[in-house]
Amino acid sequence: MRPLRILFVAPEIEPFVKVGGLADMVGALPKALAAAGHDVRMVCPAYGSLRVTGEWTAREEPLGVEVGARTHWARTWQTMLPGARVPVYFLEHEAFFGRPEVYSGPWGAHGDNDLRFIFFSRGALTLCEQLGWIPDVIHCHDWTTGFVPVFLNTTLHGTPLGRAATVFTIHNLEHQGYADRRALEFARLPPTEFRSDSLESDGAVNLLKAGLYHATKLTTVSPTYAHEIRTPAGGCGLDDVLNFRGADLVGILNGIDTDVWDPATDRHLPANYSAGDLEGKAACKAALQARLGLARDPHIAVFGAVSRLAAQKGLDLLAEALPYVLDRMHVQFAILGTGDPGLEHAFRSAAAHYAGRVGVCVGYDNSLAHLIQAGSDFFVMPSRAEPCGLTQMYAMRYGTPPVARATGGLVDTVTQFTEGRQDGATGFLFQDANAPALYHTIGWACATYYDRPAELLALRRHGMARDFSWRASADRYLDLYRWAVDARNPLPSNTVAPD
């Protein structure tokens, strides 16, 4: 089959800029697609925090992006995705992207996010025209790219680029990108698009909804989440739209970058290990205890957590359960996170109150994230909602069974443990999003640790043996891309389809 030209338009790409798992997904899937022989390219904003290195080249020709009342000029940088034959283009524009942060600064979300990302979406398409490189498929990610499919269906309809199919991936339905009508004018879209079966929602412009209506095909990052978002309870107000587009929506489970997340080769760890030889995991545990000021004890059960501190992640349930757990169980906690100031404070206070038993790092620290995955005995993930979740997969690959709430991608990736059964279980799941349920499940994991070491070892090994690579899911995306291309460019009715 003919190789495809695929453009990724994304607000974050690991290893260049990352806020959450979207960056990991977008940094890994193109590698698998390029390895399969496809022409994959990517475009991302050049945030002020990005460091231009010698491997970056600036394109000579400035990029004139037609948004707002005048043409906005951008500079384009080009580099390669490390470890792959995938060009990455960064759009530099001081007013929109000169500041260091992606979505929000010290005072919350940037007030001009609608304009920033509409400029970016339009700019990504202008870049294709400038390069003379017309993709077969444009793969968009979350609300920031919601106007890409709209441009192709309106302003660019009838141009060569307008033939490109779009695949829109929902990484998180909770962030929708609400804007007022100025967004429509800034994008130079026809005012007639301001309607409920296009981009209007509750009297405002909704960038995510725009993407959901206009993209050729829709995906989300796990089969269970694909089901949940079509219900009133999980639809974040968009379940009607998602049901309307239900025939075009599929859930494809994320893979992980198995080169970056591999306990056998991980350079962030003091010792490496594998399923066959877990000895190095003990050295990681000792290093973790030292790093976070935990009492040095090789025999105590250590529970780790690495997370954005946001309501979605349910870490407030952990904060609530923590005193009860610590007063009754022989355990330690290693917590890394940043986000909600109240929660940051709660974890810092717990670390002060339970010195030597709770180790907390407030902030973003990739190296420590690797060490927590390796050095912990269990990984806590009490998410209220979890579209896919990558950290539980990293944990399983590092022999650290998750203690996780049964929601979204956690259901699709963690297999529930049952005492006395060796059936490929990999972790502990609980149903209710409340502190008592988490407390009991931590207790269950703790009892397994002290009373059933052979079964715990089997749990670790099962998780480590799982194939979390992108192989299977990349094939599913390729099927979907071809399906989207065919849907976008149907054969004329008097043409006989080739066999």
Element (H, E) at 79: strand 70-80
Give the residue with the Cβ less far from ligand GLC, 338 or 349: 338
SS (H, E, C) 399-433: CCCEEEECCHHHHHHCCECCCCCCCCCCEEEECCC
Percent of residues in the chain assigned helix, strand, coil, to nearest 5: 40, 20, 40
The CA-based angle 355-359-362, given to 5 degrees, is: 125
Q: Smallest distance from the beta carbon of 435 to ligand GLC, in angstroms?
A: 21
Q: Which does residue 200 bind out of ligand GLC, ligand ADP, none, counting CB within 5 to 8 angstroms by kind?
A: none
Q: Using CB under 6 A, which of 390, 395, 446, 459 touches ligand ADP?
A: 390
DSSP H helical segments within 20-112, as ranges?
A: 21-35, 94-97
Q: Is 314 in the site for ligand ADP (CB under 6 A)?
A: no
Q: Which stretch binds ligand ADP (CB under 6 A): 45-53, 118-126, 335-343, 489-497?
A: 335-343
**Number of residues forming the site for ligand GLC (CB under 6 A):** 14
Which two tokens mark 326?
Answer: 């610590």
Q: Is 364 in the site for ligand ADP (CB under 6 A)?
A: yes
CB 7 within 8 A of CB 62: no
Which two tokens mark 170?
Answer: 């929902």
Q: Using CB under 6 A, which of 8, 12, 13, 21 touches ligand ADP?
A: 21
Q: Which stretch binds ligand ADP (CB under 6 A): 17-25, 180-188, 266-274, 455-463?
A: 17-25
* DSSP-assigned letter for residue 255: -
Taking the C-alpha atoms of residue 464 and residue 439, their distance in angstroms, rounded to an integer, is 26
**Sign for the pseudo-dihedral over CA of 298, 264, 365, 25:** negative
Which two tokens mark 414?
Answer: 């963690």
Give the residue with the Cβ less far from ligand ADP, 426 or 448: 426
- Write phi, then psi, for 316 (nearest 5 degrees): -65, -30
CB 290 within 8 A of CB 334: no
Our measurement of the distance from residue 227's CA atom to the centroid of its chain's CA atoms, rounded to an integer in Å, reads: 18
Q: Name which of 495, 470, 288 is nearest 378 in CA terms.
A: 288
Q: Which stretch binds ligand GLC (CB under 6 A): 19-27, 238-246, 296-304, 331-339?
A: 19-27
Q: Is 171 in the site for ligand GLC (CB under 6 A)?
A: yes
Q: Is 343 in the site for ligand ADP (CB under 6 A)?
A: no
Give the residue with the Cβ less far from ligand GLC, 242 or 350: 242
Q: Is 388 in the site for ligand GLC (CB under 6 A)?
A: yes
Q: Using CB under 6 A, which of 84, 305, 362, 390 touches ligand GLC?
A: 390
Counting beta carbons within 10 angstroms of the beta carbon of residue 247, is it exposed (0 to 12), middle (13 to 18) or buried (19 or more)? Answer: exposed
Element (H, E) at 371: helix 366-375
Q: Using CB under 6 A, which of 176, 201, 307, 415 touches ligand ADP?
A: 307
Q: Which stretch binds ligand ADP (CB under 6 A): 83-91, 317-325, 334-342, 441-449?
A: 334-342
Assign residue 356 a region (left: φ > 0; alpha: ψ between -120 and 50; beta: otherwise): left
Q: Is 391 in the site for ligand ADP (CB under 6 A)?
A: yes
Q: Is 351 in the site for ligand ADP (CB under 6 A)?
A: no
Q: Which stretch binds ligand ADP (CB under 6 A): 178-186, 188-196, 278-286, 302-310?
A: 302-310
Q: Which does residue 221 bind out of ligand ADP, ligand GLC, none, counting CB within 5 to 8 angstroms by kind?
A: ligand GLC
Q: Smallest distance from the beta carbon of 38 to ligand ADP, in angstroms?
A: 24
Q: Using CB under 6 A, which of 210, 369, 385, 404 touches ligand ADP?
A: 369
Which residues 6+ apart lie within 8 Å of 244 measured at CB? Answer: none
Question: By CB under 6 A, what part of segment 229-258 binds ligand ADP?
Answer: none
Give the residue with the Cβ less far from ligand GLC, 215 or 294: 215
Q: Is 306 in the site for ligand ADP (CB under 6 A)?
A: yes
Taking the C-alpha atoms of residue 479 and residue 194, their distance in angstroms, rounded to an integer, is 33
Q: Smallest distance from the beta carbon of 59 to ligand ADP, in angstroms?
A: 31
Q: Is 226 in the site for ligand GLC (CB under 6 A)?
A: no
Q: Which stretch binds ligand GLC (CB under 6 A): 14-22, 63-71, 226-234, 428-436?
A: 14-22
- Write phi, then psi, for 80 (nearest 5 degrees): -120, 150
| Residue found by looking up tokens 């030889």 in the block | 277
Q: Is 25 in the site for ligand GLC (CB under 6 A)?
A: yes
Q: Using CB under 6 A, which of 30, 389, 399, 402 touches ligand ADP?
A: 389
The CA-based angle 138-141-146, given to 5 degrees, is: 80
Q: Using CB under 6 A, which of 228, 386, 412, 455 touches ligand GLC?
A: 386
Taking the C-alpha atoms of residue 328 and residue 437, their distance in angstroms, rounded to an integer, is 15
Q: Using CB under 6 A, which of 21, 359, 382, 402 touches ligand GLC?
A: 21
Taking the C-alpha atoms of residue 386 and residue 36, their distance in angstroms, rounded to an integer, is 29
Q: Is 172 in the site for ligand GLC (CB under 6 A)?
A: yes
Respond yes or no on whether the N-terminal peptide bond of residue 15 is cis (omega within 30° of 0): yes
Give the residue with the Cβ less far from ligand GLC, 139 or 171: 171
* Contact positions vs ligand GLC (CB under 6 A): 20-22, 25, 171-172, 221, 254, 386-390, 409
* Contact positions vs ligand ADP (CB under 6 A): 20-22, 24, 306-308, 336-338, 364-366, 369, 388-391
